[in-house]
Amino acid sequence: MKTAAQYEESLRGLNFKVYLQGELVENPVDHPIIRPSMNSVKATYALAEDPQYEELMTATSHLSGEKINRFCHLHQNTEDLVKKVKMQRLLGQQTAACFQRCVGMDAINAVDSVTFEMDQKLGTNYHERFVKFLTRMQEEDWTVDGAMTDPKGDRGLAPSQQEDPDLFVHVVEKREDGIVVSGAKAHQTGALNSHWILVMPTIAMGKNDADYAVSFTAPADEDGIIYIYGRQSCDTRKLEGGDIDVGNKQFGGHEALMVFDNVFIPWENVFMCGEYEFSGSLVERFAGYHRQSYGGCKVGVGDVLIGAVALAADYNGAAKASHIKDKLIEMVHLNETLYSCGIACSAEGHKTASGTYLIDLLLANVCKQNVTRFPYEIARLAEDIAGGLMVTMPSEKDLRHPEIGKVVEKYFKGVAFVPTEHRMRILRLVENLTLGTAAVGYRTESMHGAGSPQAQRIMISRQANLAQKKELAKAIAGISTK
């Protein structure tokens, strides 16, 4: 396994072509806006080195028998699925941000079972290729970016019907030695902190969309791949040199548009090429795994937010008020409900044909449906408890100013025994988690990550098994169907 230092050094050896605010970034690792997101991924390596977290952060490879980082592991039983959620909660608690590595973990588990079943039915050798890649991924302890979401263009049209064919990633040429692909993947979490990317189709495809039914891996810095870094609320505060106004100076997340400009992919790295009838299964399984993930990562960040507002109440002198206590209880109730769903869909998982374990898809979608709602209520309650000062507070430079600093110190103090700076720091953290850069990985990602709310409702409808429920009701009511 890589150490945290080795991971950072490995990124320095990559040659990304990335644009941020209209400028080409020469050194993504040390760029002040990007660096906190790299620190979050780095934590997945650092915690794996810590003996107290070994049980959650590492696993035994079913391929080599060696100890590996759990983010490179295929789930071999329901215990693995449960440990995944617990690991994600831990990392959310440690970073209070998106640690980005979940997408690749969820992608490899989905691709494993789908390629196995594809080969069984079609006689292809995609699974063998995938296992070779996975073996290298485990040996090198790679961070892999799972790339599913396409720009989509006109949502009312299929990929092959779009005016611009590049609005979905597609094969533009098949050669003896591989394929050439064009298009883009949007909202790519942690793309610039990854060694490889694993591309998957974004929707179930029909026969006319066969060129868009493609899955492959490529080095993250492959020639022809361009990144355009996404904006986040309050992101330029990271350029100001202080640390209070950022809220969470050390950790963060990022998203980027990933553009494929006629990128060559050798056949050994291709896991689907035109087998459109399997595209839906791949999307469904990846989405299920990723919806399970939100029952861990968002809960961990929620733990930090609950702790922050509890401190804010202490610092405001309001902690004993009954309505404050009640709101904190409600926040905990909502947060633990999300965690319960994540654990439940894991414990109810089952073995696929390849041997990899899949979560209970109905419960995973229920988990994510709750995630589209509860973090918003948790954030609302957090803003309520924190108070308006959270968004009207002066800057850190005002606090440090030789003249007006004393005025800020005097008039923004809460309870007498707590330094004004501590109160400002905790309020900025609440702001960061509910409105700032971390809100991308908490509030907004809770809504749209792993599919928007309607996507989960469609899956819940498919998995609900209403026919069985009707039969149960008939039996209790004494209605004979014979």
Element of type H or E holding 47: helix 35-49
Q: Provide the pLDDT confidence category of residue 408 given band limits of 50, 70 and 90.
A: very high
Given a cut of 90, is residue 205 above it in pLDDT?
yes
Segment 335-358 mean pLDDT = 98
pLDDT tens per residue, range 30-59: 999 999 999 999 999 999 999 999 999 999
Confidence of residue 73 (pLDDT cuts 50, 70, 90): very high
DSSP codes joined into one string, 105-170: HHHHHHHHHHHHHHHHHH---HHHHHHHHHHHHHHHT--EEEE-----SSTTS-GGG-SSGGGS-E
For β-strands 178-185 and 196-199, DSSP reports them as unpaired
Q: Annotated catalytic sites, by residue? A: 98, 102, 189, 255, 290, 294, 297, 445
Q: Which two structure tokens, joined as six digits, stand for 74?
A: 């295929």
* pLDDT tier for residue 481 given thresholds of 50, 70 and 90: confident
Residue type, position 383, single letter: E
Which residue's entry shows tokens 């509860």?
374
If you search the block for the tokens 């030789």, which residue do you land on? 402
Assess if CATH 1.20.140.10 describes domain 281-464. Answer: yes
Mean predicted confidence (pLDDT) in 272-300? 98
**Residue 482: its pLDDT value, please?**
72
Q: Which two tokens stand for residue 18?
A: 């990335």
The model's pLDDT over 447-465, given as tens digits with 9 standing for 90+, comes to 999 998 999 999 999 999 9
Contact 292, 87 (CB under 8 A): no
Percent of the chain's residues with pLDDT above 70: 100
Average pLDDT over residues 128-140: 98
Q: What's the mean pLDDT in 268-294? A: 98
Name the token pair of 312: 């804010």
Each residue of 385-403: pLDDT tens digit? Answer: 999 999 999 999 999 999 9
Decide: 93 and 308 in contact? Cβ < 8 Å: no
Here the tokens at position 66 are 């060696």
Q: In angstroms, rounded to a whole number, what is the distance separating the alpha carbons of residues 144 and 191?
A: 8
Nearest to 159 by CA among 115, 197, 110, 201: 201
115 marked as part of a ligand binding site: no
Nearest C-alpha neighbor of 450 from the set 212, 214, 285: 285
Domain ranges of the chain: 281-464
Residue 190 above 90 pLDDT? yes
| Mean pLDDT across 298-314 | 98
